[in-house]
Structure 1
């Protein structure tokens, strides 16, 4: 019995101590500070959710104490704000208190009742109180009205928390910025600040002593800072920037997507801006440290120097057409002096000298994937890359220009400073160079000699060859077509069995099928196997000897347009492999026949379901959403991830094929074009595409780019959601386009879900539909610069981050061509009864 009594006694003591310590902890924690309740040593002010707490603390190796805010229940302590950072209290003063003074302000007094720090604002009454919010904001409230009188978020230290703002007001001169601690043991303001520049668009700077740049982020493009490509790995950028032109304010904040994730940005006492995050019980980790290497240090390579981290070569090189200002310093690794221009620009020469160099005008050299240099100027009125280029070309003081998605036209008239090359995600700039530096000095002289010689020979030979040329033109064209096909297609004939074909085959040697095998597979092109008819020619279903089903695309002998399309498809799609692109199995060039063999899509094309009253019922929302995602991924591959940069130019519902699991595959590359080198836009006099899907700049001026496909994809999204064609749409007896109706619902804040296909009933996600419509409207913006890129579209569709607001898109095709009667006639060109229109541009 004695043993049991001892056990009960120990249990009683244990429970008593537990309750005693718990009650002591509760008594030492406050949830507000009032006139009757001050904060003393050993006490902390807790936020309602116990996320943050405020109290007295002493930094490591310090003889001073401060009042600060830190994360509750996280070790080691991480202080995010300090009240008396410039006026510490001695470590021996245990009688200091944080209290509400007689005038209603929050005041810190030492043991002698001397005021050390105060909120120092006008308080209507002395019934004020102080609370600490779960966001880490310390707030002084009026006890009667509940109005916030003062908050710590308006008096930043070295840390920015979600909800606080860094920025400026140009009208009042107000500026909010972060200032580092002097050292880890001294929270008084140090040597480094982090602030938002007053440029347009703004960028983040880390400054030394408030004036000397240490690092900068590059300009804001409405989604992220362009000089921080790591922030572009997810569409959920950690930043949000809001500009109010009328008020003159621009403020930057941190986003907080999940309450279980803590995040903060601070500037260290060594001058490093650090973005950090913590999820659940995991440790803090750094999202981004800036600067993190030598190339991120501001101006590391000086004017017109380009910095790129390399394992072997020097990190600094001069821009093409420039040479080190001091070869001696450059060889020593001192690159800050930068580079100087090698050849004087033509526009800087005298009038006589310009006349002697006629034809050798200045040009532009493109540098890709960089952090855009500092000292840019935004020119709002220039809305496309051509007008931006013309502006720079016509102004000799303009040394470079860039046309940036989400920003527009930027120009530089000073030395290009702080250029850094990224491995991915950077922007492109066009630097003004003399003609000699663009083509090469020796090449320039050789060209002059060669041109003179060739001109003389050509003049003597022209009369003889012109007649011969006319006679042989048609023969050569036919022979060249066959030769091109033979070169692309492997000459080892295919047996007619799919087992011999591998997806990993050499794309330059596309397997050739024997014509006899194609005839056998299609039952000699029997009409019962015909899948469709287009300008290219008929398409047939076939079956190889091993049972593999194929789609056979046969070039019509009477189709002049089809020959070029055939060459285009063989050249392009044989080199492209992606799960959302239709796979080209082989080709056949024999006895005058030109045939393409594709994998067979058992569910035909999307329009077979989408625009059929009975077929659309088979497309539930999950299937439609999957199709939208699949097509988007396919376009990302074409635009960015493939070995070629391909613009499809004819993206539409009928060119989206569906496999047995209803997965989408982009088809019909007859009108596709490869972007060569560094080109971003191309102008063509032959406008080929489908009305209703063509972007305005392409339909009117023949200018096409990646953004042309983005426009078509936007139309595609709206058609998939609504089950209606863009060009054959009527609502409430108003003959509007589908785009116009979607914009009407959006701009009038009406029921956006009215756009949804009635065949879906209620079996869809409202949030996903609204987001898709939003993305679709962003894709069909009038100006190409306002449209997102396809990688951005994929991220927009995959995340729940806030999207930019769309502008009013172009509505009707009457506005492009005058009237419906003037529209070019359409002709069928694909296996899925797709339509292609051609218009001769001016």
Structure 2
């Protein structure tokens, strides 16, 4: 309507120019330019109770990066396919969806839909038969005048009151994608967490079998679940800010004494078209748009041994040894199935613990195991003593967070009892793991040296013996043949 009005005024002025030559053509061009600026400044990024969203309509964020509207995943036959309301990248040719409102209840084939903002400041999506397919439950009964739904420049769809208070946002109800500035949070007091749920398939946005969230019990690690089973686990935050030379990073985590969250930010302006995505096959990927396609810069789990517990109890994944990684035994342990070169079935102790005569060995740069007990506000000495006096304690780890935690505990003491599962050599993002071994350090070193010597002798002797036996067999065969000829 505003564009039509601008054009009408322009042509009216243009007609007057032929009648009144005193109005210069330069003046007309200036007026027309100003009118067009007014037109294009009229925002198309919002819904109001008087302005619903209909098929064919779309909201576009002010920076032009994101759009929200109706879509079908069968563009060649959209009238016969289910349709959805969602958010996608508006300024790239490959349609890429980052949020879907009605993933559980699509608009049926042959039906149209309507998204409205009600007078109670709720978003309601219904089909042409009047069925409500999706809605929010804000229920604002007062102060809702002037409310609007906005598509922000970060790709967050929010409901905002006239006083700029946000009462709902799509970031609290994500689909399978994490955008820059999104907070991946967990409240370890209420044991709740925001979560991603993967699509069921490449053309099916309904909830799939993979789920990602922070551990709601502690908030210290990120978990991918396949159904109810753990599929992948991140390392524990050690206070470091993970980043790379390209400027794609997770910012420092924040612990406010109740909630831990991390935000993914970019220091590179070219990274604005980037996101983390939980794919339908369970892969968590950091992807960037190169101008032609999406390129994954990071993927977990990869093709190596990073799947949850893939190296078994007391084993760890060493990604620094081979491209695909290799399962190894923690120091003081051996493969459970004998002399396996890749102990994926786990490891067992070389010597049983005796409790009071045991010692602790430091393993640096480790992604510490899962299934820990989190003990807050302990010094390193207190954390060590906590494990030493408990004969069932098999390992402990300690991190000082006093310089980076907002109001939470300044230290983190982790205790393990029983098996150590899902460890990894993690480099600078890892930390020290102190594992309990039998005997004194000197005794353990002597035992390891002896057993190592025996192992070396065995490895050398075995091929020699095999070679000699082969020669003997050849010799005997030759003798038998000669006797046969005679």
Q: TM-score, normalised by structure 2?
A: 0.72
Deviation digits for residues 179-201 of structure 1 (CA, Å, limit 9, x no counterpart): 11111111111111111114556
Between Structure 1 and Structure 2, the one with more strand by share is 2
C-alpha distance in 1, partners of 2:385/2:416? 14
1:43 counterpart (39, 57, 70): 57
1:97 equivalenced with 2:114 (yes/no): yes
- Count of residue correspondences: 396
Worse overlay, 34-43 or 151-160: 34-43
Verify the 8 A CA contact 1:320 1:437 in the aligned structure 2: no
1:115 equivalenced with 2:125 (yes/no): no
C-alpha distance in 2, partners of 1:183/1:173? 29
Any idea what SS the aligned residue of 1:219 has? coil
1:273 equivalenced with 2:280 (yes/no): no
C-alpha distance in 2, partners of 1:366/1:171? 32
Q: Which residue of the partner structure matches residue 88 of structure 2?
A: 70
Alignment of 1:104-503 (within 5 A): 104-123=121-140, 124=142, 125=144, 127-142=146-161, 144-198=162-216, 200=218, 202-209=220-227, 211-224=228-241, 231=243, 237-245=249-257, 248-257=258-267, 261-262=271-272, 263-278=274-289, 281=291, 283-309=293-319, 310-311=321-322, 315-327=326-338, 335-336=344-345, 338-347=346-355, 361-384=357-380, 388-404=383-399, 406=401, 409-422=413-426, 426-435=430-439, 436-440=443-447, 443=450
C-alpha distance in 2, partners of 1:160/1:113? 33
Q: Gaps (5+ residues) in structure 1? A: 1-21, 226-230, 349-360, 447-842
Deviation digits for residues 87-127 of structure 1 (CA, Å, limit 9, x no counterpart): 0013432x322223454422212122322211232123465
Any idea what SS the aligned residue of 1:346 has? coil
C-alpha distance in 2, partners of 1:249/1:31? 32
Deviation digits for residues 568-593 of structure 1 (CA, Å, limit 9, x no counterpart): xxxxxxxxxxxxxxxxxxxxxxxxxx
Q: Which has the higher contact order (CA 8 A, sep 6+)?
A: 2
CA distance change for structure 1 residues 113 and 380 in 2, over 3 Å: closer, same or farther?
closer
C-alpha distance in 1, partners of 2:73/2:438? 59
Any idea what SS the aligned residue of 2:224 has? strand
- Kindly report the root-mean-square deviation, in angstroms, between the aligned alpha carbons of the 2 structures: 3.5
Q: Which residue of the partner structure matches residue 548 of structure 1?
A: none
C-alpha distance in 1, partners of 2:261/2:431? 24
Q: TM-score, normalised by structure 1?
A: 0.43
Verify the 8 A CA contact 1:168 1:174 in the aligned structure 2: yes
Shift of 1:341: 1.7
Q: Which residue of the partner structure matches residue 482 of structure 1?
A: none
Shift of 1:285: 3.2
Verify the 8 A CA contact 1:180 1:193 in the aligned structure 2: yes
CA distance change for structure 1 residues 113 and 240 in 2, over 3 Å: closer, same or farther?
farther
2:48 counterpart (30, 34, 50): 34
Alignment of 1:594-609 (within 5 A): none
Any idea what SS the aligned residue of 1:301 has? coil
Shift of 1:270: 0.7
C-alpha distance in 1, partners of 2:250/2:448? 47
C-alpha distance in 2, partners of 1:376/1:205? 14
Shift of 1:172: 4.5
CA distance change for structure 1 residues 186 and 433 in 2, over 3 Å: closer, same or farther?
same
CA distance change for structure 1 residues 206 and 60 in 2, over 3 Å: closer, same or farther?
farther
Verify the 8 A CA contact 1:201 1:220 in the aligned structure 2: no
C-alpha distance in 2, partners of 1:35/1:313? 55
Q: Gaps (5+ residues) in structure 2? A: 1-35, 402-410, 454-486
CA distance change for structure 1 residues 417 and 345 in 2, over 3 Å: closer, same or farther?
same
Deviation digits for residues 620-655 of structure 1 (CA, Å, limit 9, x no counterpart): xxxxxxxxxxxxxxxxxxxxxxxxxxxxxxxxxxxx
Alignment of 1:617-656 (within 5 A): none
CA distance change for structure 1 residues 243 and 43 in 2, over 3 Å: closer, same or farther?
same
Deviation digits for residues 141-162 of structure 1 (CA, Å, limit 9, x no counterpart): 23x4443232211211111222
Verify the 8 A CA contact 1:166 1:251 in the aligned structure 2: yes
Shift of 1:346: 2.2
Kindly name which structure, 1 or 2, has the bigger radius of gyration based on alpha carbons: 1
